[in-house]
Structure 1
Amino acid sequence: MKKWPLTIIMAAVIGLAIAFIIGILLPNLRTSSSDIEVNITDPELIKKGEYVTRTADCVACHSTLDGEAYAGGLPMLTPLGAIYSTNITPDKETGIGNYSFDDFKNAVKHGVAPGNKALYPAMPYPSYQIMPDEDMAAMYAYFMSAVKPVNQANLKSELPPVTNWRWPLAYWQALFAPKREFVPETNDAVLARGQYLIEGPGHCGSCHTERGIGYQEIALSNADSDEYLSGAVIDGWRAKSIRGEHRGLATWSVDELNDFFKTGRTDTTAAFGAMAEVVEHSTQYMTEDDINAMSSYLKTLSPAPGKEVTLPEKADVTTQKLLDGDYDSRGAILYAEYCQICHRADGKGVPRIFPALDANSAVFSKNADSVLQITLGGGRMPETPHDRMAFTMPEFTNLSDADVAEVVNYVRNSWTNQAPEIDVNDVVEMRAFLAKKPKTGTDIAPDLSIDAATQGAK
């Protein structure tokens, strides 16, 4: 076995020690003190904080299936193992009950918890950085006075040794989450508000923007790059592009987007997966003005680079064949047996009940992960008061891998749809992914009203 010279070993040890010391000190450059005095008993401030917290969708990540709101414990899968969201209730032993306002602000905005501990980038502090301290103060008052304290210990990450060290995260933060302020792209007040909500508290880029080699969002704003919000795969779902190309939002109107954000549905589509959680816990509670601001801003975004602005026209020959019982492929037979009763022969579904499959940009996305996941894992619409019932789609795990590939390809390329085909290996990979994926968010529907939280705390 080769022996390393003592000088090289000593140099490596000294280098690691220096890196460690710098990593421990770096978070100090991110934190700051505020001269804001927060009256956590001010009812108006608490009410504002409840609304800001809704726009930031904190509950989705900090609650588990059948768990207490904000008590943490939600597993987030990474290639190296699971990490778990933390308890952010005002419990003094296991939550944030001992946090000062500065502690709270520095954790939420800058990713630095008390003790100078860098937080994992699963927390969207790169987006929250542009939120004003006044909103942080309102959130702090809400969490400290209106959220029910829950004594629930935080779970340790399942990352292997070395990769679970915290101090290297400080270097990640320095490289990929620099301090920044909100810079409006326009003087139009509506569009500027929409940009702020999308870019900041809504942290839409966390799901809809591709990640780089360091798992960083490759752009944090439209000013950074027109790759911003151009689509990404996260947690096995394809978070579609929400820019202006055909497979993005080109076919959507502002009114349809408003309807979608408020209700989780339109006449042709419905939210599913992580987006159903966003509607259920966040956007349905937002004001009409804020929803319209977000929709209006999104419709100003240019098409993503390299993506089709429009798709060629395609005649529908599918509907008549299905009506005639002319099943010319294995996919057609499977569709008639398992899908047609709800989604109909014309692929148009039933308005606000069963989503359309034809001309649905979530269906003919170039990446088929979402269609595969909802076929194998099922799904549920978000529950809102705007529609009488929330409908579920069953999981079709009984189908063979080959049959799933057949019916998915059939749906993605029938009627007017045009999409790349998948193969059996794609189905095998998705089935394996779902086997180890924990159930989350869309099944969570805690009562987060101030009255309910206050009653629970008494």
Structure 2
Amino acid sequence: MKPNLSMMLLPLAMLAATEVQAFDKATIAKGEYLSRAGDCVACHSVAGGEPYAGGLAIDSPFGKIYSTNITPSKTAGIGNYTLQQFDDALRHGVRADGGNLYPAMPYPDYAMLTDEDVKALYAYFMEGVPAVDKSGPETDLGFPFNQRWGISFWNWMFANDDRFQPDTQQSALFNRGAYLVLGPGHCGSCHTPRGVAFQEKSYEDSADNFLSGGKVGMWEVPGIRGGAQGALADWSQEELIDYLANGRNDKTAVAGEMTAVIQHSLSHLTRDDLAAIAHYLKSLPGQGAALPMSAAATQKTTALLDSAKMDKDSGARIYLDNCGACHFTAGQGAARVFPKLDGNALINAQDPSGLIHVILAGARMPSTKGAPEDLAMPAFGWRLSDEEVATLTTFLRQAWNNRAAAVSAQDVAKVRQTIPEEVLNATRP
């Protein structure tokens, strides 16, 4: 009897089928949504590159850490990971080969994820993302930070390993918001201050310092506690939803690292989930972080600028010549177009580097479904000297109700050195 070819191929087909775990479309779609909530694409992609192929340089106090390829490539990505290995990497910072991930990957926050959500994410990355067979640059930190085994001690001392536990005394809306903020959104990784070992000082909202503000590179990150005396106490829930969805509202506009979070993550969430996040943040009381505001202080600066009687080298004159047309003499800007400067968190930050960066390099709001306008502030690095930028920045930080320290030309020079020439000259005529 001659062997039947189809019968010979059947065992091979059965074997191949056992090597691929098929997931239903609903699970893959859920994983895609969770990947947006977790902002995975922002860190694991480079501008102009393939999504999730890695290679993004993340600045740390110890050197550059490059994000990895998390596509299902079996040669360069995570295509050979089992669900358990994926879980170990996502929630515990342990690679498939047993090595430790650097905590630039927010696994202490992702530890909060449910088993079902981890499985959905695995389904999406294995079956919903195209494989990219290309590895990015290798992270190569100096000694002793290149000794990944030492991270085990850091994990033992500082990492969070707790799953999210709903608060039975709170509403479903509160708990959904808490889960998104604490877990996939990993908001605490930027908005909670860091300790001496660069660990998040708290992973629990019962702590006063949780979401009270932090720092990412040169950018001072504001607190986002929205309850009584919180940094966002004067924001309504609708204003907060608008900001999360579109990167702008009647009070301010996004800048710095948060721009990518709005663009790639929050603007893709449902309104219900954004409402849950806003509701949760508005429930967290603060510690008197709000800046005192008075009409008299606003009027004093406004009167000075309206008079136009000032020295040509003064901060007020530089403001009128470069900023006044959009932000106006009262520093109120235009709702959802030009952010308010009076009481602005970026302007009043202890570290002025973020504000200096915006003046030198400009800024661009994300284009979203709710606000598709691609609005941008021009770069002034080509036009203003370090001394002029320092004078302008100092004026902004002490005008209207702003009360922040003066800025030196040396401060400006340090920031200028971090910005490519093509960015500084982007708006040169």
Which residue of structure 2 lines up, in the alignment, with residue 17 of structure 1? none
Displacement of 1:322 in angstroms is 2.0
The yes-or-no answer on 1:122 pairing with 2:122 is no
In the aligned structure 2, how far is the partner of 1:155 from the partner of 1:219? 32
Displacement of 1:167 in angstroms is 0.7
Displacement of 1:412 in angstroms is 2.2
Q: CA RMSD in A?
A: 2.3
Which residue of structure 1 lines up, in the alignment, with residue 14 of structure 2? none
In the aligned structure 2, how far is the partner of 1:138 from the partner of 1:121? 23
Q: Secondary structure at the match of 2:147?
A: coil
In the aligned structure 1, how far is the partner of 2:344 from the partner of 2:160? 37
In the aligned structure 1, how far is the partner of 2:320 from the partner of 2:293? 27
The yes-or-no answer on 1:200 pairing with 2:200 is no
Displacement of 1:209 in angstroms is 1.1
Q: Which moved more, 1:248-257 or 1:384-393?
A: 384-393
Q: Which moved more, 1:158-167 or 1:86-95?
A: 158-167
Partner letter of residue 58 of structure 1?
A: C
Q: Which moved more, 1:240-249 or 1:61-70?
A: 240-249
Q: Which moved more, 1:232-241 or 1:394-403?
A: 394-403
User: Is the contact between residue 308 and residue 317 of structure 2 (CA under 8 Å) also seen in structure 1?
Assistant: no
The yes-or-no answer on 1:80 pairing with 2:65 is no
- Equivalent pairs: percent with the same residue? 41
User: Is the contact between residue 279 and residue 382 of structure 1 (CA under 8 Å) also seen in structure 2?
Assistant: yes
The yes-or-no answer on 1:423 pairing with 2:400 is no
In the aligned structure 1, how far is the partner of 2:289 from the partner of 2:72? 49
Which residue of structure 2 lines up, in the alignment, with residue 452 of structure 1? none
User: Is the contact between residue 113 and residue 119 of structure 1 (CA under 8 Å) also seen in structure 2?
Assistant: yes
Equivalent positions of 1:379-458 (< 5 A) are 379-398=363-382, 399-434=384-419
The yes-or-no answer on 1:218 pairing with 2:201 is yes
Which residue of structure 2 lines up, in the alignment, with residue 28 of structure 1? none
Unaligned runs of 5+ in 1: 1-36, 440-458
The yes-or-no answer on 1:260 pairing with 2:216 is no
User: Is the contact between residue 232 and residue 290 of structure 2 (CA under 8 Å) also seen in structure 1?
Assistant: no
Displacement of 1:314 in angstroms is 5.1
Partner letter of residue 184 of structure 2?
A: P
User: Is the contact between residue 405 and residue 423 of structure 1 (CA under 8 Å) also seen in structure 2?
Assistant: yes
> What TM-score results when the alignment is normalised by the length of structure 2?
0.87
**CA distances 1:359-392 after superposition (whole Å, capped 9, x unpaired):** 3333323432321221122221111122242112
Which residue of structure 2 lines up, in the alignment, with residue 135 of structure 1? 117
Displacement of 1:273 in angstroms is 1.5
Equivalent positions of 1:285-364 (< 5 A) are 285-304=268-287, 307-309=288-290, 311=292, 313=294, 315=296, 316-327=299-310, 330-364=314-348
The yes-or-no answer on 1:280 pairing with 2:253 is no
Displacement of 1:154 in angstroms is 3.2
User: Is the contact between residue 38 and residue 137 of structure 1 (CA under 8 Å) also seen in structure 2?
Assistant: no
Q: Secondary structure at the match of 1:117?
A: coil
Equivalent positions of 1:70-219 (< 5 A) are 70-185=52-167, 186-219=169-202
Equivalent positions of 1:367-386 (< 5 A) are 367-386=351-370
| Larger RCO (alpha carbons 8 Å, 6+ apart) | 1
In the aligned structure 1, how far is the partner of 2:204 from the partner of 2:356? 30
Displacement of 1:310 in angstroms is 5.3
Q: Secondary structure at the match of 2:241?
A: helix
Partner letter of residue 326 of structure 2?
A: C
User: Is the contact between residue 38 and residue 101 of structure 1 (CA under 8 Å) also seen in structure 2?
Assistant: no
Q: Secondary structure at the match of 2:233?
A: coil
Unaligned runs of 5+ in 2: 1-18, 425-429
Q: Secondary structure at the match of 1:395?
A: coil
Q: Secondary structure at the match of 2:257?
A: helix
